Chains A and B, each alone.
Chain A
Amino acid sequence: MSEAPVAPRPGSADAAGLVPDGRPDPLLTPPRARAGWRVLPARVIAMCVVELQKLRHDRTELYTRAVQPALWLLIFGETFTRLKAIPTGGTPYIDYLAPGIIAQSAMFIAIFYGIQIIWERDAGILTKLLVTPTPRAALITGKAFASGVKALIQAVVVIVIAALLGVALTWNPLRLLGVAVAVILGSAFFSCLSMTIAGIVLTRDRLMGIGQAITMPLFFGSNALYPVALMPGWLQAVSTANPLSYQVDALRGLLLGTPHHLALDYGVLVLAAAAGITAASSLLGRLAR
């Protein structure tokens, strides 16, 4: 055991700068609690702000994550546009592919979001957040939307790359708002899926393995690369149950004006995000133990 530190006690209030200067001392007056429905948006904003602050301090992730979608569009997109192997109903293949790559790159970020939760658990950050007046569902919703913010920035990057490659995307602000909502909802679902798995497997290594194992089936078992009609029956069934397909359908409809089912797409995405938040919240306690 090391030596006991020698210190005068009790410490003086002056030394700590705690003497009130006419105003009520914040160390003595607890903030007034928000009540009811106001708690949820406040927590969501708090988590999103943290995500943006982190991105502002370290943009490396932003740049490195732009590489993969750029390669998909540049190599895969350009090649298959020339091959004309995939029937896209008259749309150039690279245009057809761009919304799929937006959804895919957003999903790739979200599907590993659980690693961040496990890291926050190990670092004690999660524990501390769980001792704040934040219901678990509000904390998970906050995290889900924070992941959505990250995905949204990624989507902007991919849209810019696609535009530079000559993809004819819409610039209608309402449609772009719809795109943002679809990206955030999809990301909320996949990050909750990831946090749910984190709550089950509890370690980063296992989550990494499972994340990698499910990413490709989710991607290839969707309409991101090719129309569902081309798939064998069993893969069509996978695609029907895969929220990524609905996200891509909405993005493609909004950005390119192709046939779409927006009501169904948003309905499925909202339900999937709500189910994901419920599942991840109920397992969050396992991470806190």
Chain B
Amino acid sequence: MTDAPESTAPVALVCEGLRYAFGETKAVDDLALSVRAGEVFGLLGPNGAGKTTAIRCITTLLPVPTGMVRVFGHDAAKERMAVRRLLGYVPQQLSADAGLTGRENVELFARVFDVTRRERADRVARVLAAVDLTSAADRLAKTYSGGMVRRLELAQALVSAPRLLMLDEPTIGLDPIARTSVWEHINAVRAATGMTVLVTTHYMDEADQYCDRVALMHRGRIHALGTPGELRSELAGRRRAEGEADPKPTLEDVFRDVAGSGLDEQGGDFRDVRSTRRTASRVG
């Protein structure tokens, strides 16, 4: 685990008092969050915890009805275009266009981010090389494996040199080897660019291994925040005080402790579960 960036690092993302409701359901309820520039920040929680809604508010897909969201100082409610230029976004679904080649998929995003024609081919080729897709670049995306599609989506998000990379469940449904490969590429890009990464996941083991800091989200609120090590050792300390001999809690135990129930007992509505399963079946 690398050291988390110092607290003096500039702030990449701030959310304060963010609320979002779908009718009676409070999806995000008074969310406060601060992501430091250059860190890999994990937003963790089960289906239906409000992670995706929070991400959608930050990415300007949803309005910010109450509260404040700032990306590198730009207000997500008022300066949408400025915020979008700073973001690279990979949604939960497999969002590459199957009817286009890998290269064409990335070219589209180069075009909509105003990469000039002179620069386009070189930039697209380099970003495809960065995710190890050079040899497959001219094949249709529908021939790609799940892991390759995820890497292609990473290339699409990176072609505009974003400062904040937002990944919504990037490894959902992937086998362990593909998950490793996706994370290796995320880390390599981070190491090379110093980019800030905000990732949502419900794989606690991944978060433990790859995130500098994590926030545990449950029912629209953040219940714990810190490095995975801090959260685990804090719970271990309490368990020791309660008389347990050698407590070695996992991040999932920490979640169970703060949320009052385990991940597997959480619901998520029909749409969440269907979307998750659809993605899982497409990558599988």
Contact = CB atoms under 8 A, between A and B. Distances in A.
A4 B62 contact: no
B188 A131 contact: no
A31 B160 contact: yes
B95 A29 contact: no
B176 A15 contact: no
Interface in B15-53: none
Contacts of A123: 93-95, 97
B84 to A, nearest CB: 5
Q: Chain A interface secondary structure, helix, strand, loop or mixed?
A: loop
A30 interface: yes
A11 B185 contact: yes
Contact of B85 (A10, A29, A30): A30
Interface residues of B, number: 76
Interface stretch (B115-123, B215-223, B229-237, B241-249): B115-123
Contacts of B100: 50, 53-54, 57
A74 interface: no
A46 B190 contact: no
A17 B129 contact: yes
B187 interface: yes
Interface range for A: 35 or more
B183 interface: yes
A9 B160 contact: no
Interface in A21-59: 23, 25-34, 42-43, 45-46, 49-50, 53-54, 57-58
Contacts of B263: 1
Interface centre among A4, A5, A134 (most CB of B within 10 A): A5
B94 A124 contact: yes
Given A26-B126, A128-B156, A46 B209 contact: no
Nearest to B89: A131
B225 interface: no
Interface of A: 1-13, 15-19, 23, 25-34, 42-43, 45-46, 49-50, 53-54, 57-58, 122-125, 127-135, 288-289
Interface of B: 1-2, 59-62, 81, 84-85, 87, 89-97, 99-101, 104, 107-116, 119, 122-123, 126-127, 129-132, 140, 156, 158-163, 171, 175-177, 179-180, 183-193, 203-206, 208-210, 252, 263
